Amino acid sequence: MMTEQAAASAASVPQTPTVISAQGLNLVYETSDGPVQALKDVDLKIGKGDFVSFIGPSGCGKTTFLRVMADLETPTSGTVLVNGVPPEVARKARAYGYVFQAAGLYPWRTIGGNIRLPLEIMGYSKPEQAERVQRVLELVELAGFEKKYPWQLSGGMQQRASIARALAFDADILLMDEPFGALDEIVRDHLNEQLLALWARTEKTICFVTHSIPEAVYLSTKIVVMSPRPGRITDVIESPLPKERPLEIRDSPEFLEIAHRVREGLRAGHAYD
Ligand code: ADP
Ligand code: MG
Protein backbone atom coordinates (compact mmCIF):
# COMPACT_ATOMS: atom_id res chain seq x y z
CA MET A 1 0.00 0.00 0.00
CA MET A 2 1.10 3.54 -0.75
CA THR A 3 2.07 5.77 2.14
CA GLU A 4 0.38 9.16 2.24
CA GLN A 5 3.67 10.79 1.30
CA ALA A 6 4.24 8.51 -1.69
CA ALA A 7 0.68 9.09 -2.86
CA ALA A 8 1.14 12.84 -2.58
CA SER A 9 4.38 12.82 -4.56
CA ALA A 10 2.90 10.49 -7.21
CA ALA A 11 0.00 12.91 -7.57
CA SER A 12 2.35 15.86 -8.07
CA VAL A 13 4.21 14.23 -10.99
CA PRO A 14 2.77 15.85 -14.12
CA GLN A 15 0.92 13.22 -16.12
CA THR A 16 1.63 13.11 -19.85
CA PRO A 17 -1.66 12.58 -21.65
CA THR A 18 -1.96 9.18 -23.32
CA VAL A 19 -2.15 9.48 -27.10
CA ILE A 20 -2.25 5.82 -28.06
CA SER A 21 -3.35 2.92 -25.92
CA ALA A 22 -3.64 -0.71 -26.91
CA GLN A 23 -5.14 -3.30 -24.60
CA GLY A 24 -5.24 -7.03 -25.14
CA LEU A 25 -4.75 -6.51 -28.84
CA ASN A 26 -4.78 -9.58 -31.07
CA LEU A 27 -4.72 -9.76 -34.82
CA VAL A 28 -4.91 -13.00 -36.75
CA TYR A 29 -4.58 -13.05 -40.55
CA GLU A 30 -6.42 -15.89 -42.24
CA THR A 31 -4.16 -17.16 -45.01
CA SER A 32 -4.33 -20.12 -47.39
CA ASP A 33 -1.70 -21.77 -45.17
CA GLY A 34 -3.86 -21.26 -42.09
CA PRO A 35 -4.08 -18.51 -39.48
CA VAL A 36 -1.07 -16.26 -38.80
CA GLN A 37 -1.05 -14.53 -35.42
CA ALA A 38 0.55 -11.20 -36.31
CA LEU A 39 -0.15 -9.63 -32.89
CA LYS A 40 -0.68 -11.45 -29.62
CA ASP A 41 -1.90 -9.81 -26.40
CA VAL A 42 -0.32 -6.46 -27.14
CA ASP A 43 -0.64 -3.90 -24.32
CA LEU A 44 1.00 -0.52 -24.81
CA LYS A 45 0.57 3.09 -23.79
CA ILE A 46 2.15 5.93 -25.71
CA GLY A 47 2.22 9.41 -24.20
CA LYS A 48 1.94 12.74 -25.96
CA GLY A 49 5.30 13.78 -27.36
CA ASP A 50 6.83 10.33 -27.00
CA PHE A 51 9.23 9.07 -29.64
CA VAL A 52 8.58 5.35 -29.70
CA SER A 53 10.62 2.87 -31.73
CA PHE A 54 9.41 -0.61 -32.59
CA ILE A 55 12.25 -3.04 -33.15
CA GLY A 56 12.26 -6.74 -33.91
CA PRO A 57 12.94 -9.24 -36.69
CA SER A 58 10.85 -9.45 -39.86
CA GLY A 59 7.36 -10.78 -39.28
CA CYS A 60 7.01 -9.73 -35.62
CA GLY A 61 4.04 -7.50 -36.39
CA LYS A 62 5.60 -4.02 -36.45
CA THR A 63 3.89 -2.96 -39.66
CA THR A 64 0.66 -4.61 -38.57
CA PHE A 65 0.66 -2.61 -35.33
CA LEU A 66 1.19 0.67 -37.21
CA ARG A 67 -1.56 -0.30 -39.66
CA VAL A 68 -3.96 -1.00 -36.79
CA MET A 69 -3.29 2.44 -35.31
CA ALA A 70 -3.85 3.99 -38.74
CA ASP A 71 -7.14 2.12 -39.21
CA LEU A 72 -5.74 0.20 -42.19
CA GLU A 73 -6.21 -3.12 -40.37
CA THR A 74 -8.91 -4.20 -37.90
CA PRO A 75 -7.81 -6.17 -34.83
CA THR A 76 -9.36 -9.58 -34.18
CA SER A 77 -9.82 -8.68 -30.51
CA GLY A 78 -8.78 -6.07 -27.98
CA THR A 79 -9.03 -2.31 -28.04
CA VAL A 80 -6.97 0.51 -29.51
CA LEU A 81 -7.60 4.14 -28.80
CA VAL A 82 -5.89 7.01 -30.60
CA ASN A 83 -6.40 10.38 -28.90
CA GLY A 84 -9.03 8.60 -26.81
CA VAL A 85 -11.13 7.52 -29.80
CA PRO A 86 -11.14 4.43 -32.06
CA PRO A 87 -8.65 4.51 -34.99
CA GLU A 88 -11.43 5.08 -37.52
CA VAL A 89 -12.56 8.26 -35.77
CA ALA A 90 -8.95 9.41 -35.36
CA ARG A 91 -8.28 8.78 -39.07
CA LYS A 92 -11.28 10.89 -40.06
CA ALA A 93 -10.01 13.64 -37.75
CA ARG A 94 -6.63 13.37 -39.58
CA ALA A 95 -4.79 12.52 -36.39
CA TYR A 96 -1.84 10.93 -38.17
CA GLY A 97 0.54 11.19 -41.05
CA TYR A 98 2.07 7.97 -42.42
CA VAL A 99 5.60 7.70 -43.83
CA PHE A 100 6.46 4.49 -45.67
CA GLN A 101 9.78 2.78 -46.32
CA ALA A 102 9.83 3.93 -49.95
CA ALA A 103 9.28 7.67 -50.27
CA GLY A 104 6.31 6.98 -52.56
CA LEU A 105 6.41 10.33 -54.33
CA TYR A 106 4.56 10.63 -57.65
CA PRO A 107 7.24 11.08 -60.33
CA TRP A 108 5.02 13.27 -62.51
CA ARG A 109 4.42 15.77 -59.72
CA THR A 110 6.96 18.25 -58.39
CA ILE A 111 8.02 18.06 -54.73
CA GLY A 112 5.56 20.87 -53.99
CA GLY A 113 2.86 19.07 -56.00
CA ASN A 114 3.42 15.86 -54.03
CA ILE A 115 3.17 17.63 -50.68
CA ARG A 116 0.10 19.54 -51.88
CA LEU A 117 -1.76 16.40 -52.98
CA PRO A 118 -3.33 15.46 -49.61
CA LEU A 119 -4.17 19.14 -49.05
CA GLU A 120 -5.97 19.28 -52.42
CA ILE A 121 -7.91 16.14 -51.53
CA MET A 122 -8.85 17.63 -48.16
CA GLY A 123 -10.09 20.79 -49.88
CA TYR A 124 -7.70 23.39 -48.48
CA SER A 125 -7.80 26.73 -50.33
CA LYS A 126 -4.98 27.50 -52.80
CA PRO A 127 -3.31 30.15 -50.59
CA GLU A 128 -3.51 27.83 -47.56
CA GLN A 129 -1.97 24.99 -49.60
CA ALA A 130 0.89 27.26 -50.70
CA GLU A 131 1.51 28.49 -47.16
CA ARG A 132 1.57 24.96 -45.75
CA VAL A 133 3.87 23.63 -48.46
CA GLN A 134 6.36 26.42 -47.70
CA ARG A 135 6.18 25.77 -43.97
CA VAL A 136 6.78 22.01 -44.11
CA LEU A 137 9.53 22.36 -46.73
CA GLU A 138 11.32 24.64 -44.28
CA LEU A 139 10.74 22.14 -41.44
CA VAL A 140 12.54 19.39 -43.36
CA GLU A 141 15.15 21.80 -44.74
CA LEU A 142 14.04 21.55 -48.34
CA ALA A 143 13.05 25.19 -48.89
CA GLY A 144 13.75 26.06 -52.54
CA PHE A 145 13.13 22.53 -53.82
CA GLU A 146 9.41 22.95 -54.39
CA LYS A 147 9.62 22.99 -58.18
CA LYS A 148 12.04 20.05 -58.49
CA TYR A 149 10.87 16.58 -59.48
CA PRO A 150 11.53 13.61 -57.17
CA TRP A 151 14.18 12.15 -59.53
CA GLN A 152 16.18 15.37 -59.20
CA LEU A 153 16.59 14.74 -55.44
CA SER A 154 18.81 12.27 -53.55
CA GLY A 155 17.20 9.35 -51.70
CA GLY A 156 17.58 11.15 -48.37
CA MET A 157 15.96 14.30 -49.73
CA GLN A 158 13.08 12.27 -51.17
CA GLN A 159 12.48 10.73 -47.74
CA ARG A 160 12.46 14.22 -46.21
CA ALA A 161 9.91 15.27 -48.83
CA SER A 162 7.71 12.34 -47.86
CA ILE A 163 8.00 13.37 -44.20
CA ALA A 164 7.01 16.91 -45.24
CA ARG A 165 3.95 15.48 -47.00
CA ALA A 166 2.95 13.62 -43.81
CA LEU A 167 3.39 16.84 -41.78
CA ALA A 168 1.46 19.11 -44.16
CA PHE A 169 -1.96 18.65 -42.58
CA ASP A 170 -0.89 19.12 -38.95
CA ALA A 171 -1.32 15.55 -37.76
CA ASP A 172 -0.19 15.23 -34.13
CA ILE A 173 1.02 11.69 -34.68
CA LEU A 174 3.59 10.53 -37.20
CA LEU A 175 3.66 6.82 -38.04
CA MET A 176 6.94 5.95 -39.76
CA ASP A 177 7.59 2.45 -41.09
CA GLU A 178 11.33 1.93 -41.65
CA PRO A 179 11.57 5.31 -43.36
CA PHE A 180 15.37 5.29 -43.56
CA GLY A 181 15.90 1.55 -44.07
CA ALA A 182 17.06 1.85 -47.66
CA LEU A 183 19.56 4.66 -47.08
CA ASP A 184 23.27 4.40 -46.42
CA GLU A 185 24.57 4.89 -42.90
CA ILE A 186 25.95 8.43 -43.27
CA VAL A 187 22.72 9.73 -44.79
CA ARG A 188 20.74 7.88 -42.15
CA ASP A 189 22.78 9.48 -39.33
CA HIS A 190 22.09 12.89 -40.78
CA LEU A 191 18.37 12.23 -41.16
CA ASN A 192 18.20 10.85 -37.62
CA GLU A 193 19.64 14.12 -36.31
CA GLN A 194 17.22 16.14 -38.41
CA LEU A 195 14.28 14.03 -37.33
CA LEU A 196 15.14 14.53 -33.65
CA ALA A 197 15.39 18.29 -34.21
CA LEU A 198 12.06 18.28 -36.02
CA TRP A 199 10.46 16.24 -33.24
CA ALA A 200 11.78 18.70 -30.62
CA ARG A 201 10.46 21.68 -32.62
CA THR A 202 7.00 20.26 -33.39
CA GLU A 203 6.28 18.18 -30.26
CA LYS A 204 4.72 15.43 -32.38
CA THR A 205 4.22 11.92 -31.10
CA ILE A 206 6.27 9.60 -33.31
CA CYS A 207 5.94 5.84 -33.81
CA PHE A 208 8.98 4.64 -35.69
CA VAL A 209 9.73 1.15 -37.00
CA THR A 210 13.35 0.16 -37.45
CA HIS A 211 15.68 -2.83 -37.70
CA SER A 212 18.62 -0.86 -36.36
CA ILE A 213 19.50 -0.99 -32.66
CA PRO A 214 21.60 2.23 -32.74
CA GLU A 215 18.84 4.06 -34.61
CA ALA A 216 16.20 2.94 -32.10
CA VAL A 217 18.32 3.89 -29.09
CA TYR A 218 19.46 7.21 -30.56
CA LEU A 219 15.96 8.40 -31.44
CA SER A 220 13.61 7.07 -28.82
CA THR A 221 12.14 7.99 -25.48
CA LYS A 222 10.61 4.50 -25.43
CA ILE A 223 11.80 1.35 -27.21
CA VAL A 224 9.37 -1.49 -27.84
CA VAL A 225 11.14 -4.80 -28.49
CA MET A 226 9.06 -7.36 -30.37
CA SER A 227 9.42 -10.99 -31.36
CA PRO A 228 7.70 -13.11 -34.03
CA ARG A 229 5.44 -16.17 -34.24
CA PRO A 230 3.28 -14.97 -32.61
CA GLY A 231 4.08 -11.27 -32.91
CA ARG A 232 4.32 -9.84 -29.39
CA ILE A 233 6.03 -7.30 -27.19
CA THR A 234 8.90 -8.76 -25.16
CA ASP A 235 10.32 -5.60 -23.58
CA VAL A 236 9.52 -1.90 -23.27
CA ILE A 237 12.48 0.29 -22.39
CA GLU A 238 12.04 3.85 -21.12
CA SER A 239 15.14 5.69 -22.24
CA PRO A 240 17.03 7.68 -19.58
CA LEU A 241 18.88 9.66 -22.29
CA PRO A 242 18.30 13.44 -22.34
CA LYS A 243 16.16 14.98 -25.07
CA GLU A 244 19.16 16.82 -26.52
CA ARG A 245 21.23 14.15 -28.27
CA PRO A 246 24.35 14.87 -30.27
CA LEU A 247 25.41 11.87 -32.41
CA GLU A 248 28.39 11.35 -30.07
CA ILE A 249 25.96 10.25 -27.36
CA ARG A 250 26.16 6.87 -29.09
CA ASP A 251 29.57 6.34 -27.47
CA SER A 252 28.32 7.02 -23.93
CA PRO A 253 27.98 4.22 -21.35
CA GLU A 254 24.24 4.97 -20.92
CA PHE A 255 23.66 4.54 -24.64
CA LEU A 256 25.62 1.29 -24.81
CA GLU A 257 23.73 -0.04 -21.81
CA ILE A 258 20.34 0.52 -23.47
CA ALA A 259 21.63 -0.95 -26.75
CA HIS A 260 22.76 -4.00 -24.80
CA ARG A 261 19.32 -4.43 -23.24
CA VAL A 262 17.65 -4.16 -26.66
CA ARG A 263 20.04 -6.77 -28.07
CA GLU A 264 19.32 -9.10 -25.15
CA GLY A 265 15.59 -8.66 -25.68
CA LEU A 266 15.92 -9.46 -29.36
CA ARG A 267 18.02 -12.52 -28.60
CA ALA A 268 15.58 -13.80 -25.96
CA GLY A 269 12.67 -13.51 -28.39
CA HIS A 270 14.49 -15.18 -31.26
CA ALA A 271 13.37 -18.66 -32.21
CA TYR A 272 16.52 -19.58 -34.25
CA ASP A 273 14.48 -21.58 -36.74
P1 ADP B 1 6.96 -6.82 -39.65
O2 ADP B 1 6.54 -5.47 -40.13
O3 ADP B 1 7.42 -6.83 -38.23
O4 ADP B 1 7.98 -7.45 -40.54
P5 ADP B 1 4.26 -7.64 -40.36
O6 ADP B 1 3.36 -6.88 -39.48
O7 ADP B 1 4.41 -7.17 -41.76
O8 ADP B 1 5.69 -7.79 -39.65
O9 ADP B 1 3.78 -9.15 -40.41
C10 ADP B 1 3.49 -9.94 -39.27
C11 ADP B 1 3.08 -11.32 -39.72
O12 ADP B 1 1.83 -11.24 -40.37
C13 ADP B 1 4.02 -11.98 -40.70
O14 ADP B 1 4.05 -13.37 -40.44
C15 ADP B 1 3.40 -11.69 -42.05
O16 ADP B 1 3.73 -12.69 -42.98
C17 ADP B 1 1.92 -11.72 -41.71
N18 ADP B 1 1.13 -10.80 -42.56
C19 ADP B 1 1.29 -9.46 -42.67
N20 ADP B 1 0.36 -8.91 -43.48
C21 ADP B 1 -0.42 -9.94 -43.88
C22 ADP B 1 -1.58 -10.04 -44.73
N23 ADP B 1 -2.12 -8.96 -45.30
N24 ADP B 1 -2.12 -11.27 -44.92
C25 ADP B 1 -1.60 -12.36 -44.32
N26 ADP B 1 -0.52 -12.35 -43.51
C27 ADP B 1 0.07 -11.15 -43.29
MG1 MG C 1 7.20 -4.28 -41.74
Residue 229 maps to which CATH number? 3.40.50.300
Domain shared by 83 and 188, yes or no? yes
Report field, pTM of the whole predicted structure over 0.75: yes
Structural domain includes residue 191: yes
Query: Which ligand has an atom closest to residue 230 CA?
Result: 1
Q: What is residue 14's predicted lDDT score, i.e. its pLDDT?
A: 64
3-class DSSP state for residue 124?
A: coil
Average pLDDT, the chain: 90
| Domain extent at residue 227 | 17-60+79-95+173-273
Q: What is residue 203's predicted lDDT score, i.e. its pLDDT?
A: 86
Which residue, judged by its Cα, is nearest atom 5 of ligand 1? 61
What gap in Å lies between CA 126 and CA 17, rounded to an integer? Answer: 35
Query: Which ligand has an atom closest to residue 233 CA?
Result: 1
Q: Check if 230 has its Cβ closer than 6 Å to any atom of ligand 1.
A: no
Q: Check if 133 has its Cβ closer than 6 Å to any atom of ligand 1.
A: no
Domain shared by 214 and 117, yes or no? no
State the distance from the centre of ligand 2 to the C-alpha of 110, rounded, in angstroms: 28
State the distance from the centre of ligand 2 to the C-alpha of 101, rounded, in angstroms: 9
Q: Check if 29 has its Cβ closer than 6 Å to any atom of ligand 1.
A: yes
Domain shared by 126 and 246, yes or no? no
Domain shared by 89 and 224, yes or no? yes
Up-side HSE of residue 56: CA atoms within 13 Å toward CB?
29
Domain shared by 195 and 124, yes or no? no
What gap in Å lies between CA 56 and CA 124, rounded to an integer? Answer: 39
Domain shared by 187 and 87, yes or no? yes
Q: Give percent of the chain with pLDDT exceeding 90.
A: 69
Structural domain includes residue 24: yes
Q: What is residue 188's predicted lDDT score, i.e. its pLDDT?
A: 87
- Over residues 8-26, the mean pLDDT reads 80
**Which burial class, exposed, middle or buried, applies to 200 when counting CB atoms under 10 A from its CB (0-12, 13-18, 19+)?**
middle
The arrangement of strands across the sheet holding 205-210 comes to: 96-99, 173-177, 205-210, 51-55, 222-227, 232-238
* Number of domains the chain contains: 2
C-alpha closest to that of 230 among 34, 39, 48, 97: 39
Q: What is residue 54's predicted lDDT score, i.e. its pLDDT?
A: 98
